[in-house]
Structure 1
């Protein structure tokens, strides 16, 4: 850790050289020489520093559908990046090798990548956006801040794949250059969130604020047997989306598979997925998609008015896009989203 560190944003100095972090709702009070819960922000001599600025553990070119974002420039490419660390510790995390990586391991295996290099690489690859993903982007906010503002100046959009456990202060700073977000609404019971290392209400607050700020929003829920698969809880999630975020907000129902510390839990039964979809549609949601479950129509966008197939997908691959200026070509109903008729190449590298 001998490289120059970046002083953190969103913190206050306290007495006795302690610091009060205001980046996420953990609101860590960090003693000198210690780190916050995310393990990537450290108090050094009474100043808070990011330990992951300017360095990535992965950089990939993905389809935007992989985030998943189905109503934001469908078929476009996004330049995905991540550092190490997370402010949660979900037992089923599929990226645990990165999210739970120590800063010391990150210093060894991470790759130096200045914000200018990230933006240049995204442009060279023909991407429409940069996605801060794989781990929680909130914890590397200083890095995001510099990349995202530079990306906007070069005509690139910015995307978050996030757990939503962030402060309003962070969102207020971020929102001028944050264009689309997929939030994992992991459950609708606080006791479940406590198992993951967080709490429910701050996530709900973030969702409502994201929507009010005009950022395009989609929701994902991994349905885990024994955790969040009860009918009442699924109905509560759907009802919250309808009442607080709007019927136009896409809900991605994702099938659980054993991973990390939950290898003894069986995959989500398919009947539970279908039940969740029926609940969402009956509550009034216009767009409910399946994740981690391929099948005819599971990822397709269908006009909520006339039922015409508008965008056909197989997994994360876009097969056909019939949209015309965000309207259904059959009944001319406006389909919510951002540039749904945008035609792009699907040749990902």
Structure 2
């Protein structure tokens, strides 16, 4: 199914000027934008992936990863095809960068699927738009999120944050949480490795954290974005917004077009140590052997959420405070 794109303008000679993301693609009739899913048909720009779902599953919310938003609960996760970046290390390149089979799921069907999980006894808090880039599914996410909110469900975006300011502000009233990939903290990395820019992503974080729960993920790619100086600048920037924003360092493994060796454990631990000088909650993902996924009180160090993989044992915080010292914990439960 197709749906007309919400944010675009019509130019001369039938050219459609897409406004959804910072690329601002000028798309001629019969052509598609960089994302591969916005097509100009006779001067009208359509989202060709509307409702086209490449995969869906009931996931632990920690898998997003979200560690401070309904820990131990589940969320119905849906993804589509297409992306507006070209990351050489893409973990979901089959759906983000290539053609992939899809199944049509209407916004109402998506909401009903989530409600059915609740009716079956699963602790499903809502819908997560994930796997590929949800802002390239903008029209569908917008329509579905409105219905989900009406049904009392939560909406989560797992995104690269590469979106224009107007579409972001338009959808934020319906979004409860976001995990935003800050893929590096240099423009050079974004240009050479992702075919994008850092500044629009920073702007997304700076806007979003004031409107919904936000957590950040940075995949540390061996030798490219894992240096101490870069980690320090990332942590300082985040702490300048809010030191309670959780930061997840994720271990890189070779994938797609990149064959660098996996991130050394020593590098991950060093990055965590550096970031914790500025931030209250820092985690390591894709490396369970490091046991760096538990949530501790930043004041007294008491273990509050004990995680083993996606299994979570809630030891606190009752009423949003640490049971040991009474410190307020930045968590949504």
Question: TM-score over 0.5 for the alignment?
Answer: yes
Alpha-carbon contact 2:303-2:315 (below 8 Å) kept: no
In 2, distance between residues paired with 1:15 and 1:231?
A: 49
Inter-partner Cα distance in structure 2 for 1:320 and 1:46: 54
The one of 92, 102, 114 equivalent to 1:110 is 102
Aligned to 2:244: 248
Partner residue of 1:257?
253
In the alignment, which residue of structure 2 is the partner of 1:344? none
Deviations 1:125-176 (A, max 9, x none): 1210200001110001000011110000111000011101001111111111
* 2:82 corresponds to: 85
| CA–CA distance in structure 1, aligned partners of residues 183 and 195 of structure 2 | 12
Q: Could you say what the CA RMSD is over the residues aligned between the two structures, in angstroms?
A: 1.1
CA distance in 2, matches of 1:204, 1:320: 32
Question: How do 1:39-118 residues align onto structure 2 when only pairs under 5 Å count?
Answer: 39-102=36-99, 106=100, 109-118=101-110
Q: Does 1:267 align with 2:265?
A: no
Matches within 5 A, 1:179-190: 179-190=176-187
After superposition, the C-alpha distances for 1:246-280 in whole angstroms (9 at most, x for unaligned) are 11000101111111111x21010111111101101
Structure 1 gap ranges (5+): 340-349
What is the aligned partner in structure 1 of residue 142 from structure 2? Answer: 145
Rounded Cα–Cα distance in structure 1 between residues aligned with 2:76 and 2:61: 9
1:125 maps to which of 113, 117, 132:
117
**CA distance, structure 1, for counterparts of residue 86 and residue 290 of structure 2:** 34
Question: Is the CA contact (8 Å cut-off) linking 1:222 and 1:254 kept in structure 2?
Answer: yes
Name the SS of the counterpart of 2:172 in structure 1: helix
Q: Is the 8 A contact 1:297 1:312 kept in 2?
A: no
Matches within 5 A, 1:317-336: 317-336=311-330
Q: In structure 2, what is the equivalent of residue 312 of structure 1?
A: 306
Per-residue deviation at 1:77? 0.7
Distance 1:307 1:5 in 2: 51
Specify the SS of the correspondent of 1:12. Answer: strand
Change (3 A) 1:296 1:97: closer
Deviation at 1:226, TM superposition (A): 2.0
C-alpha displacement at 1:112, in angstroms?
Answer: 1.4
Q: Distance in 1 between matches of 2:288 and 2:169?
A: 37
Q: Distance in 1 between matches of 2:164 and 2:271?
A: 30
Measure how far apart 1:316 and its partner are. Answer: 2.0
Work out which of the residue numbers 178, 190, 205 in structure 2 matches 1:207: 205
Aligned to 2:297: 303
Shift of 1:297: 4.0
Secondary structure at the aligned position of 1:68 is classed as coil
Query: Deviation string for 1:6-35 (max 9, x for gaps)?
Result: 111100111111111110000111111111
Instruction: Provide the C-alpha distance between the structure 2 equivalents of 1:322 and 1:241, rounded to a whole number of angstroms.
Output: 25
Task: Quote the residue 2:121 is aligned against.
Answer: none
Instruction: State the alpha-carbon separation in 2 of the partners of residues 258 and 78 from structure 1.
Output: 28
> Quick one: which of 168, 171, 182 aligns to 1:171?
168
- Count of residue correspondences: 327
